[in-house]
Amino acid sequence: ALQLVEAAARAGAWAMKIQTYTADTMTIDSQKPGFVIGDPNSLWYGRNLYELYEEAHTPWEWHRDIFKRCRELGLICFSTPFDATAVDFLEEFDPPCYKIASFEIIDLPLIRRVAATGKPLIISCGMANMGEIEAAVQTAMNAGSTGVVLLKCTSSYPARAADANLATIAHLSQAFSCPAGLSDHNSGLGVSIAAAALGACMIEKHFILDRSEGGPDAAFSTEPDEMTTLIREAGQAFEAVGTIRYGAGENEKTSRTHRRSLYIVKDLEAGATLNNTNVRAIRPGLGLSPAYQDLIIGCRIKQQVKRGSPLSWDMLLQPEQK
């Protein structure tokens, strides 16, 4: 676990989220229908829920060292609690916020207990309809949470890009007047980068040192080198959105000199008449705009001009001087 923390810090992550539960707080050990995953397309087809959670949970005795190492490395550390005992336990480490998992968004008593800590809540919205999201947000705010972030999430593992519906991110933010981001269960990086370009305030991605070692979420987890790429590219995508603007930006101003402009392309004597063979629109952009080409054709020049001179208004004779 500490190797994961250190790898995340090296990759440039700003936070590490773990999950706090035991198999007993999630379900009961049963082979009855519903307690065994029956979807043949699932990564966990045929697995007993209790055994799966027993395998996947983060041992509670690891939490203290994980929180400590995160703080040493400058990482924000927080967790997803799945019941009240987990909240009580996590409060010992004073996390700055909590996460509510998609499957728990309808567990309003749990949300109420987490919100009572006075911490902000990050709520994943996988499978939830608008009414369920509204109930979760209102419960959190009424119970004392100091803020809510909503995450668009597709609760399939791994998720398909076609099911991401990232346009929902902006709608969540507008509908509930709060920041919105993405909890990404896709196996690649493209969906997360696209979400950043659409204004996602945060991106949650599963993280693993080496997918080949396997694990319950290995198929859709990101390795350290991929995480580094994701953080860099998502950051650039978010920054690139900018604002609506036209014209040369600050860093484009020098490029204006490489536009086309009107140039004398033959040696001319004073009084010569300009035409389409001795004046051309070429690069660089130090002469008059090509927009004036039709206007200056037929005009005469005041003085001798050498080939390669940019055309300017003060070279031309006034109409009465023609």
Are 8 and 112 in the same domain? Answer: yes
Are 223 and 312 in the same domain? Answer: no
Range of the structural domain that residue 304 is part of: 251-321
Are 197 and 99 in the same domain? Answer: yes
Q: Please enumerate, as own/partner, the contacts of 43-50 that have beta carbons within 8 Å and a separation of 24 or more.
A: 43/157, 43/158, 43/216, 43/219, 44/157, 44/216, 50/23, 50/26
- Bond preceding residue 284 cis, omega within 30 of 0: yes
Are 84 and 218 in the same domain? Answer: yes
Are 136 and 227 in the same domain? Answer: yes
| Domain end among 215, 241, 267 | 241
- Helix 2-11 and helix 224-241: axis angle, to 10°? 40
Are 181 and 273 in the same domain? Answer: no
Structure tokens, 293? 């080409």
Specify the pLDDT at position 322.
Answer: 47
Per-block mean pLDDT, blocks of 10 residues, the chain (322 long): 97 98 97 93 90 94 98 98 98 99 98 99 98 99 98 95 97 98 96 98 96 87 97 96 92 93 98 97 98 97 97 88 50
Are 195 and 296 in the same domain? Answer: no
At residue 125's C-alpha, the angle toward residues 122 and 127, to 5°, is 160
Are 82 and 131 in the same domain? Answer: yes
Structural domain includes residue 122: yes
Q: Which helix (H) or strand (E) holds 98?
A: strand 98-100
- Distances in Å between the Cα of 92 and the Cα atoms of 78, 112, 117, 141, 256 are 12, 19, 12, 23, 60
Structural domain includes residue 160: yes
Structural domain includes residue 29: no
Are 302 and 180 in the same domain? Answer: no
Are 110 and 230 in the same domain? Answer: yes
Structural domain includes residue 47: no
What confidence tens digit (pLDDT) does each residue in 260-290 have?
999 999 999 999 999 999 999 999 999 999 9
Give 9's Cβ-side CA count (13 Å radius). Answer: 16
Are 76 and 169 in the same domain? Answer: yes
Q: What is the C-alpha separation between 159 and 148, in angstroms, rounded?
A: 24
Q: Are strands 261-264 and 98-100 parallel, antiparallel or unpaired?
A: unpaired
CATH number of the domain enclosing 85: 3.20.20.70
Specify the pLDDT at position 43.
Answer: 86
The number of distinct structural domains making up the chain is: 2
Are 181 and 257 in the same domain? Answer: no
Q: What is the C-alpha separation between 198 and 193, in angstroms, rounded?
A: 9
Structural domain includes residue 48: no
Burial 142-156 (b: 16+ CB within 10 A, else e): ebebeebbbbbbbbb
Structural domain includes residue 82: yes
